[in-house]
């Protein structure tokens, strides 16, 4: 493929947004609705009644600790069921309002089960999964492990929200010339939009000739309009180096492909710890 040929477009028509008992559901829905509007996509809200929370509430020794109490109160399965239903209805109404403002189609589903398992089972029917802070029962694995599992095993593109605000600043893309990175570039261009002047592009360590070739590919795919690429040459692919480059670019969103070295399980785990922005993994 030459630098002027266009790769297959990343088609995103159905965005699945994960919702649970966490406090960031509203911010996630607002950001997802705006994203879907840019992509002209439908939003499907999925509220998962975490079976682990229900099991925990049924244990006789389980207690809920409040902000002003050191002793807490006993968990009640009936109260937990009622709370989950109320939370689901609140999220449904919030999604309806966000979708109305963004003028996009929407739907809402409620499932009961393991949070991650339900998301993995539903993701093949979507083009993009969006999730925020993974709030789940303490008997489940750590949140970082849940996040990494979704990113690595999900059947569609995945957006991990690392901020509570709607991303406004430039998009940052890792690009190494692979077909998957070309697909990621086509999506980065759409997300950046014609109103954004700059698309920050991180290039891997390479000799000058290879770097020039990669820059030519990116310019050819973007064409002469906006956004224009601004290249950052990475000295290595260590997670700290990548995270620092994203921060210096002022980006709120980093886009990588599932085939790039950064997306390897060990590298991805380290990157998630250091990254302070949203992460979009494209397959």
In-domain check, residue 128? yes
Is 22 domain-assigned? yes
Question: What CATH number has the domain bearing residue 275?
Answer: 3.40.50.620
Number of domains observed in the structure of the chain: 2
In a domain, 91, yes or no: yes
Final residue belonging to a domain, choices 135, 160, 185: 160
Task: Estimate to the nearest angstrom the gap between the alpha carbon of 177 and the chain centroid.
Answer: 23
Phi, psi of 23 (to 5 degrees): -95, -5
Tens digit of pLDDT per residue, the chain (283 long)?
A: 444 455 566 789 999 999 876 656 788 899 899 999 989 999 999 999 888 777 777 666 555 544 444 445 556 778 888 888 999 999 999 999 999 999 999 999 999 998 889 999 999 999 999 998 765 544 445 667 778 888 989 989 999 988 655 556 689 999 999 999 999 999 999 888 756 789 999 999 999 999 999 999 999 999 877 899 999 999 999 999 999 999 999 998 999 999 999 998 788 989 988 998 999 999 8
Same domain, 85 and 198: no
HEC states along 178-244? Answer: CHHHHHHHHHHHHHHCCCCCEEEEEECCCCHHHHHHHHHHHHHHHCCCCCEEEEEECCCCCHHHHHH
The answer on 153 and 21 residing in a single domain is: yes
- Domain annotation covers residue 8: no
Same-domain check for residues 156 and 178: no
Q: Are residues 71 and 197 in the same domain?
A: no
5 occurs within a structural domain: no
Residues 155 and 177 in one domain: no
Query: Does one domain contain both 153 and 35?
Result: yes
Tokens 């002022």 found at: 250
**pTM, whole model, 2 decimals?**
0.86
165 domain-assigned: no
The domain containing residue 156 runs over which residues?
Answer: 14-160
């Amino acid at each position: 493929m030459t630098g002027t040929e266009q790769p297959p477009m990343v088609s995103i028509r159905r965005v699945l947004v994960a919702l649970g008992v966490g406090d960031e559901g509203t911010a996630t829905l607002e950001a997802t609705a705006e994203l879907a509007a840019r992509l002209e996509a439908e939003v499907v809200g999925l509220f998962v009644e975490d079976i682990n929370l229900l099991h925990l509430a049924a244990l006789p020794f389980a207690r809920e600790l409040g902000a002003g109490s050191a002793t807490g109160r006993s968990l009640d399965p009936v109260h937990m069921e009622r709370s989950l239903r109320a939370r689901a209805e609140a999220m449904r109404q919030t999604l309806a309002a966000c979708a109305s403002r963004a003028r996009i189609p929407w739907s809402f589903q409620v499932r009961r089960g393991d949070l991650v398992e339900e998301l993995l089972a539903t993701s093949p029917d979507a083009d993009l999964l969006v999730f925020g802070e993974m709030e789940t029962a303490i008997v489940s694995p750590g949140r970082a492990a849940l996040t990494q599992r979704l990113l690595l095993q999900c059947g569609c593109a995945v957006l991990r929200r690392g901020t509570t605000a709607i991303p406004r600043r430039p998009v940052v893309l890792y690009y190494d010339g692979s077909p998957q990175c070309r697909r990621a570039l086509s999506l980065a261009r759409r997300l950046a939009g014609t109103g954004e002047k700059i698309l920050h592009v991180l290039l891997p360590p390479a000799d000058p000739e290879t770097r020039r070739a990669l820059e030519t590919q990116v310019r050819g795919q973007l064409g002469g309009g906006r956004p224009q690429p601004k290249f950052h040459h990475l000295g290595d692919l260590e997670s700290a180096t990548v995270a620092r480059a994203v921060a210096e670019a002022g980006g709120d969103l980093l886009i990588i492909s599932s085939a790039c070295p950064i997306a390897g399980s060990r590298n991805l785990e380290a990157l998630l710890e250091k990254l302070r922005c949203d992460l979009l993994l494209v397959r």
